[in-house]
Amino acid sequence: MRIKALMRYLPVLSIVLVAGTLLVIVVLFTLRNINAQNERMEEFAARQGVSVIRSLEAGTRTGFMQSDWGLEQLQLLIEQAAKDPDVEWAGLINANRIIVAHSEPAKIGLRLLMGEEMNLVKAVIRTGEPLSFKRQLPDGRAIFEIWMPFTPIPDQIAEAELMARHTRIGQELLGVFDSDHKPVVFLGLKMDRFKEMRQQDIVLGVFMGAILFVIGSASVYFIFVVQNSYLVRKTLDEMRTYTRNVVESMANGLITTDRFLRVATFNSTALEILKKPREQVEGCVISELLPVEDEIRQVLADPEEIIEKEIKISSDGKDRAFLGVSVSSLKEPDSALSRGAVIIVRDLTVIRDLEQKVIVSEKFAALGRLSAGVAHEIRNPLNSIRGFIQYFQKKLPLEEEDYRYTDLMLTEVDRLNRVISRLLAYSRPREPKLSIRSPEDILDHCIRVVSREAGEAGVEIVKKPGGEEAPLVLMDTDQMTQVFINILVNAMESAPRGGKVFVEYGSDGQGKCQIVVEDTGEGIPRENLDKIFDPFFSTKKKGTGLGLAIVKSIIEGHGGEIEVESEPGKGTRFIITLNAYVLAGDNEMPPSVEDEPRAVGSS
């Protein structure tokens, strides 16, 4: 826990550490510069003092070349040098350590008997080299002093020649400029200007240090801000990518809307469920996709409510889908207000189809049990009734009207028998006897079988050429004959007198065999399209509702599919799709091929 707490303050500690390091570096660098500048200032002051002393020597040497020049002129020369703004004082000491000239005349004649000055005079006379040092005055001012031998007379000029030329110099000057006991000149330079410069340097150093400290701290802080921004952005990108992947990987569709019921976001699963392109979904009103406007308004009014419902949608009247929809509020962070709605869409079509198949299977089972009882309980009495009717027709002398009634009774008995036969065939279909056949041959045979009946009904059967050559199919000839005859008879009965039935045979473009039967009848109402394959559902007055149910059962038994398309007033299309036969290997023997189909009557 302490490590985690320390890590929390690591950026601040790092900034403080770096800033402190920069501050120490700046202070050390400033002190080093100040020391170096002090050394340069002392060196400059020493050179300046030596220059002044050399000027005094040159002036004295020039004065020697003139007549009537003595200590008074030397005193004036020293006083004149002391008038320089940087010179505090100047003086000359003879071999006896007596001040013979000074910028302050009151000090002339004083002797240096002891102290630091005496030692300096001795050291300068002994070494012959100038000495310099700082002196602190009682008023706090600092003075830079230079002591060096004063030698205005050139060594190459002999004293005799000099005395011969300048007889007025006298014994006084000869005593001062004795070659064996050289005088010492001392010069005091003011350090005020240097002190101001040093203070300015210190202020500049402090200012630069503060600037570097601020810049360094700001740089470190900026680095941490940039790094944290990068980490935050990277984390947000990872979270955004993770969220996008989670949303896109959902098995259910996700749609969000704003408060104006317009689609804001959605995932690819929602597009797949709705069968819509992205362009048609982005920004559209939700009512164009799903009928959930009232539910969204309800959750917007009450953000705590969650509404679930099941809806059915269709596309162009062909595809239908059952959807489970859950509508909830999209809340604002830290607020009870809703910024929109979240819609979860689940595709229940497969589940509903399975439920329908289970219902149909249950019907099959019930019909199977019912059929077994009907076969025993009804068929035998029907045969007896038919026999007795025929017996009475032959035995009794019946009137013509009575005879018509008995024939009507026989017709109804036969019709009831056919219903029972169909019921048995639907509830207990036999296993197909498969062989490789061309569906076109069977279809042509079925057209020939129903052509006479079509002619009597005034309906023309037109066979249209297919686009691609259709493949062979593994099928039961008798069962597929029953399928085609049922479809053709239904089409003829739906078409009006003078109408047409179009038959098209070919490939669906994906390697499967496709048969299309289309009539020019009145069509089937849209609400009945889902029911026409249900048992006992029929729109005909005398229909049993088992013909198309048997057709679908046979086609599904062959692994095929049958679809119906209809538009009221324009007719109906039945589309049968069968799998093509593909030989698995060269050594595999194909099933037997029958030459001619056997005719099977319409059921």
Q: Which residues contact 282 (CB under 8 A, 6 or more apart)?
A: 263
Among 12-21, 391-400, 513-522, which stretch is predicted with the lowest mean pLDDT? 12-21
- Residue in 280, 276, 281 with CA at minimum distance from that of residue 264: 281
Q: What is the pLDDT of residues 253-272, one digit of tens each?
A: 889 998 888 998 888 888 88
- pLDDT for residue 440 is more than 50: yes
* C-alpha dihedral sign at 412, 416, 421, 427: positive
Domain 353-427: CATH class, spelled out: mainly alpha
For residue 40, count CB atoms less than 10 angstroms from its CB and return exposed for 0-12, middle for 13-18, buried for 19 or more: exposed
> Which of the residue ranges 22-31, 162-171, 465-474, 550-559 has the most confident prediction, judged by mean pLDDT?
550-559
pLDDT at 596: 43
Which is more confidently placed, 167 or 73?
73
Which of 184, 55, 51 lies closest to 127 in space, CA to CA? Answer: 184
- Please, what is the angle between helix 477-494 and helix 547-557, to 10°? 140
Euclidean distance between CA atoms 162 and 179, whole angstroms: 13
Cα 62 from Cα 51, distance rounded (Å):
16
Residue with tokens 């005055």: 137
Mean per-residue pLDDT of the chain: 76
Average pLDDT of the residues in 431-444:
84
Check residue 118 and give its pLDDT.
Answer: 66
pLDDT > 70? residue 587: no
* β-pairing verdict for 99-102 and 87-93: antiparallel
CATH topology of domain 434-578: Heat Shock Protein 90 (3.30.565)
* Token pair belonging to 120: 């300096």
What does pTM read for this prediction? Answer: 0.44
| Report for 31-35, 361-365, 459-463, 566-570: range of highest mean pLDDT | 459-463
Residue 546 has a CB neighbour count (10 Å cut-off) of 24
Residue 178 pLDDT more than 60? no
Which residue, 475, 452, 447, is CA-closest to 463? 447
pLDDT higher than threshold 50 for residue 443: yes
User: Is domain 252-347 classified as CATH 3.40.50.150?
Assistant: no
Per-residue pLDDT tens digits for 111-134: 765 556 667 667 776 777 777 777
- What mean pLDDT is predicted for residues 180-192? 77
Token pair of 32, please?
A: 């080093």
What are the tokens at 413?
Answer: 């008995």
Name which residue leads in pLDDT, 505 or 320: 505
The string of DSSP codes covering 454-496 is HHHHT-EEEEEPPSSPPPPEEEEHHHHHHHHHHHHHHHHHHSP
Report residue 161's pLDDT band, with 50, 70 and 90 as the boundaries: very low
Which position has the higher pLDDT, 540 or 473? Answer: 473
* Segment among 104-108, 285-289, 330-334 with least mean pLDDT: 330-334
Which residues, 6 or more positions from 544, have their beta carbon under 8 angstroms from its beta carbon? Answer: 419, 422, 536, 538
> Over pLDDT 70: what percentage of the chain?
77
* In the predicted structure, residue 68 carries a pLDDT above the cut 80: no
Between CA 577 and CA 183 the distance in angstroms is 136
The per-residue pLDDT for 13 is 65
Angstrom distances, CA of residue 325 to CA of 266, 267, 283, 376: 14, 15, 20, 50
- Using the predicted structure, report yes or no on whether residue 576 has a pLDDT greater than 70: yes
The pLDDT tens digits of the residues spanning 210-231 come to 777 777 777 777 777 777 788 8
| Secondary structure element (H or E) that encloses residue 425, with its range | helix 400-427
293: tokens are 């406007």
- The topology under which CATH files domain 23-197 is Beta-Lactamase (3.30.450)
Give the model's pLDDT for residue 186: 83
User: What is the average per-residue pLDDT within 289-307?
Assistant: 87
Domain boundary assignment for the chain: 23-197, 252-347, 353-427, 434-578
pLDDT value of position 6? 54
